[in-house]
Structure 1
Amino acid sequence: MSYNVRVWGIRERTDRRKPFMVRWTVNGREKSESFMTSGLAGSRRSKLVTAARDGEPFDERTGLPASELRAIKQRTTWYDLAHEYLDQRWDRTPGNTRRTLADAFAAITPALVLPGVTYPEPRVLRRALYSWAFNKNAWAQEPAEEWRKALDWMKRHSLPVSALTEADVLRAALDALCRKLDGKTAAAKTARRKRAAFNEVLNTAMEKGFFAENPSTG
């Protein structure tokens, strides 16, 4: 976090789809956002200026004021985090590791939902997660209708990332990694691979400021 913030004037680029750019720096690191209209750009600039004048620190990595960053973290679900993690790693990850990640996330994600809810067709949900949500190669096409319904349900019911600091939630997640869809115990080697993948996502979440320490190792 830094209080060294400078907000520049709005820049217009007539050759762009979003021609109005808001630019600012946080401790010398330049950030920008583009908008369709000057009104939207002006509103965004005003919010940044107000936050800086009020003495609010800004995050150097994202460029966002602390209050905005907190709001984003509170809204971010486990499903969002896992999806983003896979998206960022996909192109530099070999095929076997991609399958391990998809398998781990498809196993754990249905366990990290709001209390008391269960999808009525768990096999459909798991297949939708493994074959589409956590398979970037499939994103070029829309998912099948039954998969889309399952994924929409998951987006609505996925727990916020912050819930993983709760012991019972973390325990449920780790237990899901050790079991097959039918409830039987998974092979120890398979469980270890899945747990390693889960742990990497938590490390990434820690680096982004969701946790002070990795909840699975702290």
Structure 2
Amino acid sequence: MCRKLDGAPAAAKTARRKRAALNEVLNTAVEKGYFVKNPLNGIRWNAPAVNEEVDPAAVPNPVQVGRLLAAVGRLRGRGPHLEAFFGCMYYAATRPAEVIHLRREQCHLPETGWGMLNLSRGVVTSGTEWTDDGSAHEVHSLKRRAANATRPVPILHQFVRILLAHIERFGVSPDGRVFRNEAGNYVDPAAYGTTWARARESALTQTEYASGLAKRPYDLRHAGISFCLYSAVDPAECARRAGQSIQVLFRHYAKFLDGVQEQSNRLIEQSMQEWDRISNGSPPVG
């Protein structure tokens, strides 16, 4: 399970995933009476260590994100249609599967002020041989959430305007999806991955490109969450908007939380200085 087909070592996450799949198969065999117990339970195995922390070097800042999104919009073909698609991953810190499923009725897009995306489902590519109806896609509930769970995510007015312009230009699919391919079907990960690769080549400097900055579209989600933390938003609220537990947020974004702690320390110092002034007879500021 720790090897690829060519015999080379598999990535740590791959090894863990393969073992988890085998363990589930054996547990099912126990439930159906084929085995008395799961034989894996008697095997000592040290799982490969996985580095789950997001690398700050791969996370673009707002200026770099702006350049990348503009580059997407300038590309021929599907580029203009995917500019707002990638924008959702950054401005709303959404997962690609959630953006693919996004419907117009889930979008509150006022003329002024903040908007809201009320996320409810995600679309994953499974392959026709793995679905009951032969479709290549499956609609799932939000990750690690109940089937009817929703997640409202506020969005800046700058992105509200981008989404409104996208809908005005491209419309929506018959079932209300905001994003679709040329045939009207679900946006394909391979297709938007190719577009993103072209945008990186166009928008990034040689140094930025070689460093692996924003190498994957998913790095836009990392960038959105990290900017939320950088802005000193409460980590619990960052986790809620991202659809994560606070434990996962701390584990994945530990390096960014260091900066949040520094900002929090400054705020505490300012508050303490204010109370010192009041205790010395000075009137409160403001």
Normalised to the residue count of structure 2, the TM-score between the two structures is: 0.23
Normalised to the residue count of structure 1, the TM-score between the two structures is: 0.28
Instruction: Pick 1 or 2: higher relative contact order, CA cutoff 8 A, min separation 6.
Output: 2
